[in-house]
Structure formats: C-alpha cells, structure tokens
Structure 1
Amino acid sequence: MLRRWITTRAPGSRAAQHNPQASGDGGLGECLRLLSFNIQVGIGTQRYRHYLTRSWQHLLPHRERAANLQRIGALLADFDVVALQEVDGGSLRSDYVNQVEHLAQLGNFPYWYQQLNRNLGRLAQHSNGLLSRLRPSLLEDHPLPGPRGRGAILLRFGEGPEALAVVMMHLALGTKVRTRQLAYIRELIQGYRHCVLMGDMNTHAGELLEDSPLRDLGLVAPQTRATYPSWQPQRCIDHILLSPQLTLERMRVLDAPISDHLPVAVDIRLPAVLRPQQLMELPRPA
C-alpha cells in the first residue's frame, strides 16, 4: 500500500520558498555561517532505549516535539545557511506542520526549501530542508542513486567561475550505495572552484576524503569531533566539507543534544567576488 506514495521525481531546478515575515536590522558580514543538523523530526532522544520507547513518535504527534522545534529554531537563528536532515514536511506525526517552513519562521530566514524524499501521505513526509538568508541564484533538487528516499540539494550563490556551490545531503548507510551517491554529487560540483558539502553523510571523514569519489578534490574536513549519538558522541558522521580555496574562520560541534545527532557549524570567509554587495540578501535577525 505504501508503494503508491513513493513516487519518482526528476532532478531539476526549483524555486526557493519565500518567508514574507522575515525581517531584521543587520547585514551579512565577510563571513558566511553554515550549520548542518539532523533533527530527527523533532524527537528528543537521550538514550539508546528511547529508539524503542519513543519509536511511536515517528508515527504520531507528541507535545514535546513543538518545544524541541522551538529550541532548534532559536539555535538556527545564529546562522546564514542551514542544512536540515530528517525533517517532516507536514503529516500526522508533526501535527501537519511543515517543519522546514516552521523553522524558517522561528529562525527568521527569508528563504527555505523542502526536499520531499519519501512521501508516505498523511503518515510521514520524509524530507531534507534548506534555510538561507541569501537568495540562491540557482537551486536544484536531486534524488540520489540507490533505494528511494535519499536526496541532495544544490545551491549556487553568485555567478560565473567564482560562484559558491553548496550541496546539502543525507547519504545512505550502506557503503556501496553511498559510493554511488558520492559519485553523483562529484558530478554535480564539476567545474565549481568554491564548494561546500554539508549534511549527515553516515561515514567518517577519512573515507570521504581518501576512499570515495571525492578523493581527488582536495576537500578539507575541519571537524573531527564525534556527532552521534548526541548523548554520548562516538561517531563523526555529520560533516561540512570545504574546497581548499575557501578560508575557514571557525569550526564548532554545538553542545545541543536536542536530536540524536549534534549540529556541526563552520564560519567561512567569502571570496572577495562574493562579498555581500555581490549577493542578493535580506537582513539578518536582530
């Protein structure tokens, strides 16, 4: 019965949604603040046993979810571009709230996009999400190879050979499928000099940089601190990878055990050709 809801979609350009309520009194500086966070659809998980005892929350609504989203929204408000994984696009379990749109409103983001990767109708809307204070000059939605349910979002900021490409993703658990997905992403960023890859990659930086289709790009993985599980981190599987031409100013794994993953954040210095006057933006929140 569920098979009829898992529809095939073609990759292609999309338009970011606009949040008309976004406002503020500041501007983007010379640095871009990026964050990636697997929010586990707002479920608070603090112990392994919660995967069993709170598993029903993947199907049904719970009052704690709204409070967790408030906490996540407050955390995201400090950043310019955010990649979200395991977000619900509006179904029974989320009280029919599109969590990407809701977090855009809580964090005062002008632009947002929901990538629906597994549509289970009223039961669940498995999605990735994008939040941005900059209007992308290009946004592409890409289903990834392998079993349905994984996707990547390609953003471009600026124009020409100096444009910044940002790819947000949630990769598969299996090594073979993940390798196919990384090969696909490698093709997506072909020709871009400035690249950021961010998301839940379900593997360690060593495999990504040394034993995957990304190995010839010279990418930098500034973050090596474990991000999963959030209550006792042991595995570093959430990453923001940077092309070597980008200057890293700051790296953090945030001590915010709201989900079963910890969020990872970096500040990068924008290339001179991509400074605020060249980018289309709305103000940062107060």
Structure 2
Amino acid sequence: MSIDAPKPLRLASYNIRAGLGTDLRRDPARVLHAIAGLSADLVVLQEADHRLGTRPSALPYGQISQLTGLAPLPISERPGGLGWHGIALLAQPTLVVSDIHRIPLPGLEPRGAVAADIEAEPGPLRVVGVHLGLLRSSRRAQLDRIREELDALDPRPTVILGDFNEWSTRKGLGRLARHYTLLTPGGTFPARLPLAPLDRIAHCDRLNVKLRPPPEARHPHPSDHRPILADVTLQPAA
C-alpha cells in the first residue's frame, strides 16, 4: 500500500510598497486580491506598514482574512501595525506557529528580519522574512547577523525569502550562498519591466524548494515589485 507524500507548503514573498501601485494610487484591496491570487499557505510581505508617524499598517487589518483567507502573525510591536520593520507574515489559520524571532539588523537604515517557527504538514520549518538594505556593505553585515542569530536558535529546516535588494546575480550574496542554496526566480523589479532580481529565496540542504510562476500580472500592478512563489518539502530521510 502506497503512502501519500506530504503536501508541499506553498510560500510567497511580495514587496507591496505600502499599497502604492504602478499607477501611483494606493489601493489596499488591489494588493489583497493579488495576495489571494497567489494561493499560498504563507506569504512574507515587505513594506507592509507606512514609514512615517506611528507606522500604521498599509493594509486594512479587518479585511486581510476576509479577502485572502490568511491571518496576520503577531509580529508587530506597535498598536495599528502589521509588521516589524515593515515585514509581515500572513498564514493559513491551520498553520501552527510555535515561536517568532525578531532579528535587528545593522546598517544605516533601520532594518530587521523576522523568523517564524512553523509546524506544517511537511514537518517543522523555520521561515525567515527579510528586506535587506540599499547598500551592499549593509547587506553583507545584515546577512552575517541573520546567520549568527539563526545559528544560535534550535536547529530546524530553514528557508529565507524576501527582498534582498541585490541587483547582481554574481556578487553581494556570497555570505549566504556558502551556507544555503540561493534561488533567483528572475527579474521582479520594476513590475512593469522586471529586470532586477531583487526578490529571492535561500534554503538549507534539508529542504526541497521548487520555484513556481506567480499568476499572470495585471495592469496596473499593485506594487513596483512582482511576487515570487515556491513549493517547499522536506528532503526524505536517508
């Protein structure tokens, strides 16, 4: 009798630019419909909060579950906020989150990474959302900090995804590539003519990660980035 393999966990990452589309209109509902169209189990968002004042959520909190079927994870430390340093995670309500780790990052700009420990059908998993700095020197220091912090946690299969802000496919991410498999889905920025591979995925050798094409882009785009999508399974035991 055959045993069905665990269903892959579908992950997505999307820099939503606080809901500002390529037509320079802020339309949170348009962003939420785009997120729903990804059909993901967990979505990592960047720029999920406004940058000024109290940095409120760029998405109407009450409509997130209604329009996407996903629930925000408790990441924000501010009333009215959705994320931490703009990074938010939306997950299927059936996913069990056992812990959340906030990782402050060095650099000239305030930056942070968020790691969520998930108990999913493929098995225990750590999903790390990032939005690295604009300067390569900052990105290198930030990658060092992320690896140091992850190494200090209890070990579990890990996938890192988000806006790495690195234009080159050969330089700048060596600190990560020496320890993780780095996947570059292709150009994701700018949304109208995606040339720069800013959004990427990195994973440890305990995981199989298969890139998936996101849904056909609509015009105007909900953001200046395009989303990335992948299916994740655990490597079979030896």
TM beyond 0.5: yes
Q: Mark the runs of 5 or more structure 2 residues left unpaired by the alignment.
A: 1-5
Secondary structure of the residue aligned to 1:106 is helix
Q: How far apart in 2 are the matches of 1:70 and 1:165?
A: 24
Match of 1:85 among 40, 46, 58: 46
Q: Does the 8 Å contact 2:128/2:159 carry over to 1? A: yes
Structure in which a larger fraction of residues adopt helix: 1
CA displacement at 1:156 relative to structure 2: 1.4
CA displacement at 1:250 relative to structure 2: 4.1
Q: How far apart in 1 are the matches of 2:32 and 2:209?
A: 29
Aligned twin of 1:269: 233
RMSD: 3.4
CA displacement at 1:225 relative to structure 2: 1.2
CA displacement at 1:201 relative to structure 2: 0.5
Q: How far apart in 2 are the matches of 1:146 and 1:69?
A: 29
Once the two structures are aligned, what percentage of the paired residues are identical? 30
Q: Mark the runs of 5 or more structure 1 residues left unpaired by the alignment.
A: 1-28, 47-53, 55-61, 274-286
TM-score, normalised with respect to structure 1: 0.65
Count how many residue pairs are aligned between Structure 1 and Structure 2.
Answer: 219
Aligned twin of 1:7: none
Aligned twin of 1:34: 11
Aligned twin of 1:207: 171
Q: Which has the larger radius of gyration?
A: 1
Q: Does the 8 Å contact 1:202/1:237 carry over to 2? A: yes
Secondary structure of the residue aligned to 1:214 is helix
Deviates more, 1:166-175 or 1:252-261: 252-261
Q: Letter of the aligned partner of 2:222 in structure 1? A: I
Q: Letter of the aligned partner of 2:229 in structure 1? A: A
Aligned twin of 1:281: none
Aligned twin of 1:12: none
TM-score, normalised with respect to structure 2: 0.77
Residues 242 and 254 (structure 1), Cα distance of their counterparts in 2 relative to 1, 3 Å cut:
farther
Q: How far apart in 2 are the matches of 1:98 and 1:236?
A: 24
Match of 2:89 among 130, 139, 143: 130
Aligned twin of 2:3: none
CA displacement at 1:114 relative to structure 2: 4.2
Q: Does the 8 Å contact 2:132/2:142 carry over to 1? A: yes
Q: Does the 8 Å contact 2:109/2:133 carry over to 1? A: no
Q: Does the 8 Å contact 1:165/1:189 carry over to 2? A: no
Aligned twin of 2:192: 231
